[in-house]
Amino acid sequence: MEERSWARCNALTVDVEDYFQVLAMAPYVGRDAWERWPCRIEASMDRLLQICADRCVCGTFFTLGWVAKRYPQVVRRIVAAGHELASHGYGHERVWEIGPRAFREDLIRAKGLLEDTGGVPVVGYRAPAFSIGPRTPWAREILQETGHRYSSSVYPVRHDHYGTPEAPRHAHRPDGQGGLLELPPATLRLLGRNLPAGGGGYFRLLPYRVSWAALRWIAQAEGQPAVFYIHPWELDPEQPRVPGIDLRTRVRHYVNLHRTEQRLSRLLQDLDWDRIDRVFAPELAGVSDWQAGQAVSAQAF
């Protein structure tokens, strides 16, 4: 067996949304048309939860309030399987587009619905399309005021739909000690640039070994846990095709869907994984890694 004592385990995260809710599809599938598209979230979530169960892995599921309202059984299955329930907002709208007031309302609506449905506290949040950054200086304060303790909403890469490449690559508190903890998806620093290594389309489009090697490097060379993300629809190669979409969106969304299930199962076996609230427990508690290690060592005697 490969020796893995070189780092804390990584954080597996899932953005619980359906195929027609991807923001790249917004020009082709309006929000007012969501109810008319066949929803496949139950079947794809069952498949994903089974993969996690087969590998004895727990993760953090950033779930849309829209999904929770229509498919409460999905939320209950997440919680029953031992995963962390977190918020992806209610309506899957970019934070910088809706502004402070609507953002607060969206957070409160989603958090309340998820907590009432799942019966557990919700303290984590991920913005749709990683849409918190320089254009939303008010967002972190609102997240704290609404009871969120951490966010995974800033992706320090350059991308045409999202990204804040100048942001820190690892867990940090943008507002100083005691503020909201930000947990960026994994990136690899190479030739002066941050390259995405945290999952999503990159995990499907690039060879498996690229993702595996990048995540292992972050753990070994940098001593940091990686935040990895995936969507249930990425395990659903039979999903209906949205007509008329541009070539870039078609490639990003559909290529290698048939490979995702096998790749994810392999990744969960090849590396160590857990929920965000456990992987980053020292940071969320406001103590250093050294202090956490001392506490663990003391408990052993």
Does some domain include residue 283?
A: yes
Q: Residues 258-285: what's their mean pLDDT?
A: 96
Q: What is the DSSP string of the chain?
A: ----TTSPPEEEEEEE--GGG-GGGTTTS-GGGGGGSPP-HHHHHHHHHHHHHHTT---EEEE-HHHHHH-HHHHHHHHHTTPEEEE--SS---HHHHHHHHHHHHHHHHHHHHHHHH-S---EE--GGG--STT-TTHHHHHHHTT--EE-----S--SS---TTS-SS-B-TT-TTSPEE-PPPEEEETTEEEE-SBTHHHHHS-HHHHHHHHHHHHHHH--PPEEEE-GGGG-TTSPPPTT--HHHHHHHHTTHHHHHHHHHHHHHHS-EE-HHHHTHHHHHT--HHHHHHHHHHHT-
- Residue 6: pLDDT above 80? no
CA distance 237 to 15: 17
Decide: residue 121, CB within 10 A, 0-12 exposed, 13-18 middle, 19+ buried. middle
- The pair phi, psi for residue 169, each rounded to 5°, is -90, -20
With a pLDDT cut of 90, the percent of the chain lying above it is 84
Does some domain include residue 3?
A: no
- For the segment 193-202, what is each residue's pLDDT rounded down to a tens digit? 999 999 999 9
Query: Which CATH number do you get for residue 170?
Result: 3.20.20.370
Does some domain include residue 4?
A: no
Domain with 22, as residue range(s), is 10-299
* Cα angle, residue 93 at apex, residues 243 and 46 outer, rounded to 5°: 70
User: Which residues share a beta bridge with 227?
Assistant: 11
Higher-pLDDT residue of 166 and 50 is 50
Does some domain include residue 1?
A: no
Query: Beta-carbon neighbour count of residue 49 at 10 Å?
Result: 20
Q: Which residue has the tokens 């620093």?
A: 189
Does some domain include residue 170?
A: yes
- For the segment 215-224, what is each residue's pLDDT rounded down to a tens digit? 999 999 999 9
Q: Which two tokens stand for residue 210?
A: 């690229």
- For the segment 148-164, what is each residue's pLDDT rounded down to a tens digit? 999 999 999 876 666 68
- For the segment 230-265, what is each residue's pLDDT rounded down to a tens digit? 999 999 999 999 999 999 999 999 999 999 999 999
User: Which residues share a beta bridge with 150?
Assistant: 124, 181
Query: CB within 8 A of 160, min separation 6: which ones?
Result: none
Q: Average per-residue pLDDT in the chain?
A: 91
Closest CA to 226 of 265, 187, 191, 178: 187
Q: What is the pLDDT of residue 7?
A: 56
Does some domain include residue 46?
A: yes
Label residue 176 by pLDDT band (50, 70, 90): confident
Does some domain include residue 5?
A: no
Contact between residue 14 and residue 229 where contact means Cβ atoms under 8 Å apart: yes
Q: Which two tokens stand for residue 44?
A: 């794809």
Q: How many structural domains comprise the chain?
A: 1
- For the segment 13-36, what is each residue's pLDDT rounded down to a tens digit? 999 999 999 999 999 999 999 999
Does some domain include residue 147?
A: yes
